[in-house]
Amino acid sequence: MLPDRPEPPLGRRLLSVVEARDEGAFRLLTLLDDEGPEPLPGQFYMVTRAPDWGGGLGRPYLPRALSFAGTTGMANGVSIEFLLDEVGPGTRELSRLSPEDECWVAGPFGRPFSRAGELTEGAAGAVLVGGGIGIAPLAPLRRDLIARGVPTRVLLGFREPAAAGGVDRLFGCEEVRVAYEAGSDSPARVTDLLSVVLAGDDAGRSAVYSCGPPGMLEAVRRMCADRGVTAELALESPMACGYGACFGCAVPRRDGGYLRLCIDGPVVRGDEIESAEAGEAGS
Amino acid sequence: MLPDRPEPPLGRRLLSVVEARDEGAFRLLTLLDDEGPEPLPGQFYMVTRAPDWGGGLGRPYLPRALSFAGTTGMANGVSIEFLLDEVGPGTRELSRLSPEDECWVAGPFGRPFSRAGELTEGAAGAVLVGGGIGIAPLAPLRRDLIARGVPTRVLLGFREPAAAGGVDRLFGCEEVRVAYEAGSDSPARVTDLLSVVLAGDDAGRSAVYSCGPPGMLEAVRRMCADRGVTAELALESPMACGYGACFGCAVPRRDGGYLRLCIDGPVVRGDEIESAEAGEAGS
Amino acid sequence: MTAASLETELIGLPLSSPVINGSGTFDAIAAGRVFGERALSSENFPFSAYVSKTITEQPRAGNPPFRTWEAPAGMINSIGLPNPGLAHFVEDHLPVLRQLPVPLIVSVMAEDRDGFSRLVEGVTAAGGVSAFELNVSCPNVHSGLIVGESGKEVEGLLDRLGSFTDLPLIIKLTPNVARPEEIAEAAEAGGAAAVSLVNTLKAAALDPASDRPWLGAGSGGLSGPAIRPIAIQQVRSVSAAVSIPVIGMGGITDGESALDFIRAGASAVAVGTENFRDPLAGTMVRTELARALERRGIETIGELRGAAST
Amino acid sequence: MTAASLETELIGLPLSSPVINGSGTFDAIAAGRVFGERALSSENFPFSAYVSKTITEQPRAGNPPFRTWEAPAGMINSIGLPNPGLAHFVEDHLPVLRQLPVPLIVSVMAEDRDGFSRLVEGVTAAGGVSAFELNVSCPNVHSGLIVGESGKEVEGLLDRLGSFTDLPLIIKLTPNVARPEEIAEAAEAGGAAAVSLVNTLKAAALDPASDRPWLGAGSGGLSGPAIRPIAIQQVRSVSAAVSIPVIGMGGITDGESALDFIRAGASAVAVGTENFRDPLAGTMVRTELARALERRGIETIGELRGAAST
Ligand SMILES: Cc1cc2nc3c(=O)[nH]c(=O)nc-3n(C[C@H](O)[C@H](O)[C@H](O)COP(=O)(O)OP(=O)(O)OC[C@H]3O[C@@H](n4cnc5c(N)ncnc54)[C@H](O)[C@@H]3O)c2cc1C
Ligand SMILES: Cc1cc2nc3c(=O)[nH]c(=O)nc-3n(C[C@H](O)[C@H](O)[C@H](O)COP(=O)(O)OP(=O)(O)OC[C@H]3O[C@@H](n4cnc5c(N)ncnc54)[C@H](O)[C@@H]3O)c2cc1C
Ligand SMILES: Cc1cc2nc3c(=O)[nH]c(=O)nc-3n(C[C@H](O)[C@H](O)[C@H](O)COP(=O)(O)O)c2cc1C
Ligand SMILES: Cc1cc2nc3c(=O)[nH]c(=O)nc-3n(C[C@H](O)[C@H](O)[C@H](O)COP(=O)(O)O)c2cc1C
Ligand code: FES
Ligand code: FES
């Protein structure tokens, strides 16, 4: 077993949908997991509509990787929340599910976020930087940090108010700052908020955690590198299997070669990779 | 245009489901056609679930051929009834549809049953012989014959009572005789009923119409041929297009060559073909 | 948003759009009988050029049933080229096809070069035809080689046909070779006006009930979306290898997939199996193609041709 | 209903079932790390023999991203054979793979016959290996020919390897040739213990957003249900051509599709891409295969082998 990771059940399992509702621009899907362990913030699952995908012309075909956005312990298992951004046929079908429907699920998989203390020697606090659907894995991370008494600031960014979703439900409002690139009276990027925070003197002693679009992640990565702040980033790449079988999820390592993002990630330290944009189409 | 056939709308059209319910072992699906003409008994439609099929692994992919089992003129169009026998992924998906769902539909296509008089010089009456799901196209034929005042006897056969469906709803009970090969106190085949009827003296002057499994159709075809009774059979073959484009629905002609069943059929005279079983897998 | 123009030119023929049909996947005569003559009017006809089903010198009845099998995201067919033969084609079919509102391309197949010569000569003499597509997925009875698998056979065939017709010749490439670009280069060297690809991939299915192959002919050819990624790759490598126009096909189901073939280097695209799912698939693809160009703010299809060919 | 036995024998190896994995589609070491050691126990291991990912003499990092694309009922991959190289494989991986509860088949690829020789010699010397699968979908740097496309190359390679190992050699055939049965015949003539097919079909996809190919390597190989009808046909013709056992694969997703390959002539079947959809796909296929036999009232898999091969 990989150190400090909960052991997922063998193979895949059928889980039923217990709740499905819109959260702003996103869809919140809750499954009841009566077999699997509590996942750790940053981990993900491979999800397929059951009995199988409904792609009339053959797509979707592979399972889809989804970070969990929250969990609740229940008498009969763990209920797992997923936040969905409908970008194509797979997320579309998952967004159409309703209670009583079922999904094939494998996981939890992947390397979770590190504890603040492990990431930053004697960390004074944590800064969470999320963009778009990338806010999903930060929600359970925030709860975990707060439970551990780590002072935590949350900075979230969206293209525009209409593109936001899940903020109140997943984060509660206190301590959360949201930036909109457009459509608000004070347009800003989440990285603008971050630079202000990092300008503060305890910056060097805070642990930064981020997830969002590649461009944003790369900006966060550089900003932190420049200021000598350690940052962990939750990356994405096309994942066919999620458990190390296909070698498809390659992300270039800083020191040459590639990470298998599904097992060596999805969470990586900023200095482990060349760029958070590598692997973007045509890069 | 082909003579005496209603002209189908160009291409395919989106029709909505107005009713869907079980009828014994079968499923009755009713679509509202606000564009197409009244079809003629024996004709069929090519039907696909909309927006598209849901075959997770790529099937179903092609549209499915369905005879209509009845029509009702409405203010806003014609409601078309289909009787479904769930034998695979396509009929399964169509059987899962419910009101508000939509289907892509093309048609009506194909050669309809002939008028009793055209089929049999001065026909004294008609005998309809149906087996299994093959009863579907005979229902509208019976209504048509009765409307024209043609004395009509209906003989239907099913494997067993549990495999029957739609009889009362589609035929009403009077004048209909049903045979069960098993599971009844007097097991019989529908062809047994037919031979009794054909033993009657006016046999030579009755027109026989039949639809059902290949084995049954071939038995009907021979029985009628032996007794010099003209019969029309509604055949099946795998149909990819339904309108003469693919040449896939070939059925061997008695005088050599092949029929394109979607345009030269599905209704053929018994003496036009070599056998109603030709084209059965491996034959 | 400026309306994008789909007008294009192919082997000297001005086409209203790059969307034509794949041979054997749309029977214009049957469509006219089933849907009525209006189906063949210039407003309604789905394609900018019409490719006939492959004809042979002698009439053919075609293969015994079953002739089709539904595969994952595709189908297998073994139709067996049923056709009335040269004489009846010229007599009965050509007069109708000539009246279509678009240029006519006649697909022909023969067992040897003489057979091909008689076909193109006979059809050219009859008149009203704009080009030929040579279906070379068949053996040459003399060499025993599948013509489409041998560059030498393809070039030799083209050399011969030059003296029997002045019409442009299109070679329909088979995908069942290791390097289709080599066959395409031979076609170009032999003077072909264009190449079209892909034809179907050799495939088979077994009867679930008996232990026999499902298809009466034993095996057949796979088509539909399932083969699109293979077709895209072959169109890319063929387009990179030759300078004559490429007609791309294989699993085109909508504007985006049609555009993929054009971006891969095709000058025109053909809709095949999708015609079975939607009798007006050609019209739908053309409409979506125009929309796709507009979304990209592009005014003519040429701007995207080959954008991703290498 | 009598429980059908799936036990079989392949190239001298007694197998608990005919269901193995396709090379490169299941990383046993990663599975052990992700799911825990129990994943590799004899109760839980999904396959009756394990085929390693292809290894090369020198370490390889693999291709730049993206490496996968989802296709209609399948996927394209261009992984690029990342592997630790012979030395590290023997040192770090072999000790673990040797402990698997099933026979180990090591897949190898090299640029020339000497490279292949050193690979089989080195791995054989290390011990604990039951057979080799030769991945010949690569060019021979000397002849420039793709080994798997040339019967001569395949036969020559096998001749050479005979003096470097006593272990059975399996040739993994590429489907990207006109006649795979001819390559299989050469493999048999060269002394191959078996042939396995199909490998992936050359394919490509374009980035919807940019005008670049989606895959970092430009093109890749298609796998999954989409290619099953092609694979079934190739397994039929190869099985008819050779008498050595055939390992069939290509889009196997369940018991019925596995049975199709056996009915087409395969002695064993390999599950590939389906492993990505279901980490226990091998177990599922084995279970369904047993049920399928029982439904047919058949007691041993052998009774159906090749039932529909011609
Ligand atoms: C570890 C991890 C965690 C994730 N967590 C979440 C989450 O919590 N919530 C969430 O909504 N998403 C999450 N994602 C992203 C999610 O997995 C993808 O958005 C999803 O797989 C897209 O599938 P689709 O069919 O909806 O869209 P696709 O059709 O797959 O399109 C999505 C993008 O992929 C590319 N693409 C287009 N066609 C193809 C194709 N045929 N094959 C491959 N790529 C194609 C295009 O760039 C397109 O924009 C996560 C991804 C990873 C790796
Ligand atoms: C003119 C006409 C009218 C019809 N009217 C009706 C009707 O009114 N009601 C009705 O229920 N049915 C009707 N049918 C039959 C109906 O079209 C078929 O049952 C349907 O297409 C089956 O599709 P499926 O996906 O449900 O089953 P399939 O999976 O297609 O299986 C159905 C049969 O086809 C064979 N088969 C299995 N797999 C495949 C495959 N991959 N490709 C091709 N064949 C395969 C097998 O023999 C199987 O038993 C009609 C058919 C025709 C030609
Ligand atoms: C039922 C059917 C019949 C076909 N007949 C012919 C033919 O007569 N001549 C020919 O060159 N290609 C023929 N083809 C191949 C198509 O023209 C086309 O090359 C192939 O189907 C790939 O395109 P698609 O995937 O869009 O169908 C046929 C294909 C199908 C499915
Ligand atoms: C991601 C991926 C990686 C593969 N790697 C290898 C490999 O290293 N060596 C090899 O011989 N075949 C490799 N293959 C081919 C498979 O072993 C198999 O031949 C092919 O995928 C067809 O089977 P399938 O459709 O069940 O996947 C790979 C296939 C995939 C999808
Ligand atoms: S997704 Fe398959 S190895 Fe990472
Ligand atoms: S079903 Fe296509 S020609 Fe009859």
Task: Choose among D210, D201, D213, D202: nearest CA to D65.
Answer: D213
Note the pLDDT of residue C133.
Answer: 98
* Contact assignment for B55 to A51 by CB distance below 8 Å: no
Mutate to test the interface with D, among C76, C137, C150, C202 (most CBs of D within 10 A): C202
- Reported as a single tens digit per residue, the pLDDT across A72-123 is 999 999 999 999 999 999 999 999 999 989 999 999 999 999 998 888 888 8
Which residues of B are less than 8 Å from A54 in CB distance?
A: 54-56
Neighbours of B187 (CB within 10 A): 12
Whether residue C223 is predicted with pLDDT greater than 60 in this model: the reply is yes
D29: Cβ–Cβ under 8 A, 6 or more apart, which residues? D93, D96, D97
- Reported as a single tens digit per residue, the pLDDT across C276-285 is 999 999 999 9
- Relative orientation angle of helices D228-241 and D180-189, to the nearest 10 degrees: 40
What whole-number distance in Å separates Cα of residue B2 and Cα of residue C36?
A: 8
C166: Cβ–Cβ under 8 A, 6 or more apart, which residues? C124
Which residues of C are less than 8 Å from B244 in CB distance?
A: 27, 30-31, 33-34
What is the distance in A from the centroid of ligand 3 to the CA of C199?
Answer: 6
Note the pLDDT of residue A205.
Answer: 84
What is the distance in A from the centroid of ligand 1 to the CA of A102?
Answer: 20
Note the pLDDT of residue B203.
Answer: 72
Whether residue A203 is predicted with pLDDT greater than 90 in this model: the reply is no
Under the banding of pLDDT at 50, 70 and 90, the label for residue A283 is very low
Note the pLDDT of residue C305.
Answer: 87
Ligand 2 pocket member B57 (CB < 6 A): no
**Three-class secondary structure of residue D250 per DSSP:** coil
Q: Exposed, middle or buried by CB within 10 Å (0-12, 13-18, 19+), for A159?
A: middle
Provide the residue-wise pLDDT of chain B in tens; the chain has 283 residues. Answer: 566 899 999 999 999 999 999 999 999 999 999 999 999 999 999 999 998 887 667 899 999 999 999 999 999 999 999 999 999 999 999 999 999 899 999 999 999 999 988 888 888 899 999 999 999 999 999 999 999 999 999 999 999 999 999 999 999 766 799 999 998 888 899 999 999 999 886 777 889 999 999 999 999 999 999 999 999 999 999 999 999 999 999 999 999 999 999 999 999 999 999 999 975 544 3
Structure tokens at C50: 């019409």
Alpha-carbon distance B281 to nearest alpha carbon in chain D (angstroms): 13
**Three-class secondary structure of residue D38 per DSSP:** helix
- Reported as a single tens digit per residue, the pLDDT across D247-304 is 999 999 999 999 999 999 999 999 999 999 999 999 999 999 999 999 888 888 888 8
What whole-number distance in Å separates Cα of residue C262 and Cα of residue A258?
A: 33
Q: What are phi and psi of D64, to 5 degrees?
A: -65, 155
**Three-class secondary structure of residue B85 per DSSP:** coil
D177: Cβ–Cβ under 8 A, 6 or more apart, which residues? C177, C178, D148, D149, D183
Measured in whole angstroms, the distance separating CA C22 from the mean position of its chain's CA atoms is 4
Query: Which residue of the set C138, C154, C231, C252 is catalytic?
Result: C138
B125: Cβ–Cβ under 8 A, 6 or more apart, which residues? B116, B150, B151, B152, B153, B202, B205, B206, B207
| The ligand 6 atom nearest the CA atom of C276 | 2
Alpha-carbon distance B168 to nearest alpha carbon in chain D (angstroms): 35
**Three-class secondary structure of residue D99 per DSSP:** coil
Structure tokens at B162: 């549990």
Q: Exposed, middle or buried by CB within 10 Å (0-12, 13-18, 19+), for B75?
A: exposed
Q: Which residues pair with residue D60 across a beta bridge?
A: D83
Neighbours, chain A (3 or more CB pairs < 8 A)? B, C, D
Whether residue C88 is predicted with pLDDT greater than 90 in this model: the reply is yes
What whole-number distance in Å separates Cα of residue D15 and Cα of residue D19?
A: 9
Beta strands C19-21 and A231-234 are unpaired
How far from A202 is each of A125, A146, D66, CA to CA, in Å? 9, 18, 39
- Reported as a single tens digit per residue, the pLDDT across C264-279 is 999 999 999 999 999 9
**Three-class secondary structure of residue A109 per DSSP:** strand
Q: Kindly compute the dihedral angle of the four CA atoms of residues A236, A240, A242, A243, in this order, to the nearest 10 degrees.
A: -140
What whole-number distance in Å separates Cα of residue B221 and Cα of residue B212?
A: 12
Task: Give yes or no for a contact between A27 and A170, defined as CB atoms under 8 angstroms apart.
Answer: no
Under the banding of pLDDT at 50, 70 and 90, the label for residue A173 is low
Beta strands C13-15 and B44-49 are unpaired
What whole-number distance in Å separates Cα of residue A10 and Cα of residue D32?
A: 10
Which residues of B are less than 8 Å from C209 in CB distance?
A: 281
Task: Choose among C117, C185, C129, C119: nearest CA to C157.
Answer: C117
- The secondary structure element, H or E, covering residue A264 is helix A261-264
What whole-number distance in Å separates Cα of residue A159 and Cα of residue A138?
A: 18
Under the banding of pLDDT at 50, 70 and 90, the label for residue A3 is low
Enter the pTM of the model.
0.96
In single-letter form, the type of residue at position D268 comes to A
Q: What are phi and psi of D208, to 5 degrees?
A: -60, -30
Q: Which residues line ligand 4 (CB under 6 A)?
A: A 246, 248; D 22-25, 53-54, 77, 79, 81, 107, 135, 172, 198-200, 223-224, 227, 249-252, 271-273
- Reported as a single tens digit per residue, the pLDDT across C155-196 is 999 999 999 999 999 999 999 999 999 999 999 999 999 999
Q: Which ligand is nearest to the CA of B247?
A: 6
* Contact assignment for C72 to D226 by CB distance below 8 Å: yes
Note the pLDDT of residue A47.
Answer: 98
Note the pLDDT of residue B283.
Answer: 38
* Contact assignment for D72 to A58 by CB distance below 8 Å: yes
Note the pLDDT of residue D1.
Answer: 44
A22: Cβ–Cβ under 8 A, 6 or more apart, which residues? A28, A165
What whole-number distance in Å separates Cα of residue D213 and Cα of residue D211?
A: 7
Q: Which residues pair with residue A15 across a beta bridge?
A: A103
Strand order in the sheet with A64-67: A64-67, A44-49, A102-109, A13-23, A26-33, A77-84, A70-74
Task: Give chain A's mean pLDDT.
Answer: 92
What whole-number distance in Å separates Cα of residue B156 and Cα of residue B178?
A: 5
A282 inside 8 A of chain D by CB: yes
Note the pLDDT of residue A124.
Answer: 84
Note the pLDDT of residue D3.
Answer: 64
Q: Kindly compute the dihedral angle of the four CA atoms of residues D122, D124, D128, D131, in this order, to the nearest 10 degrees.
A: 120
Neighbours of C89 (CB within 10 A): 24
- Reported as a single tens digit per residue, the pLDDT across C227-237 is 999 999 999 99
Task: Choose among D191, D188, D47, D37: nearest CA to D105.
Answer: D47
| The ligand 2 atom nearest the CA atom of B60 | 25
Alpha-carbon distance C222 to nearest alpha carbon in chain D (angstroms): 7
What whole-number distance in Å separates Cα of residue B208 and Cα of residue C169?
A: 53
Q: Which long-range contacts (CB under 8 A, 24 or more apart) does A163-169 make?
A: A163/A25, A163/A132, A164/A24, A164/A25, A165/A22, A165/A23, A165/A24, A165/A25, A165/A26, A165/A83, A166/A23, A166/A24, A166/A26, A166/A28, A166/A69, A166/A83, A166/A135, A166/A136, A166/A139, A167/A24, A167/A135, A169/A23, A169/A28
| ipTM of predicted assembly, 2 dp | 0.95
Structure tokens at C249: 């096909």
Task: Choose among D73, D93, D70, D97: nearest CA to D82.
Answer: D93
What whole-number distance in Å separates Cα of residue A139 and Cα of residue A98?
A: 23
What whole-number distance in Å separates Cα of residue D261 and Cα of residue D306?
A: 8
CA atoms within 13 A on the CB side of B20: 16
Q: Consecutive sets of 10 residues in chain D, 310 residues long: mean pLDDT of each? A: 79 97 98 97 98 97 96 96 97 97 98 97 98 91 89 97 97 97 98 98 94 93 98 98 98 96 97 97 97 89 80
How far from B149 is each of A187, B141, B146, B153, B208, CA to CA, in Å? 79, 12, 5, 12, 16
Give the nearest chain A residue to C225 (CA atoms).
A57
Note the pLDDT of residue B83.
Answer: 98
Note the pLDDT of residue C1.
Answer: 44
Give the nearest chain B residue to D252 (CA atoms).
B57
Task: Give yes or no for a contact between D190 and D168, defined as CB atoms under 8 angstroms apart.
Answer: no
D138 is known as an active-site residue = yes
* Contact assignment for D276 to A104 by CB distance below 8 Å: no
Task: Choose among D8, D47, D24, D244: nearest CA to D137.
Answer: D24
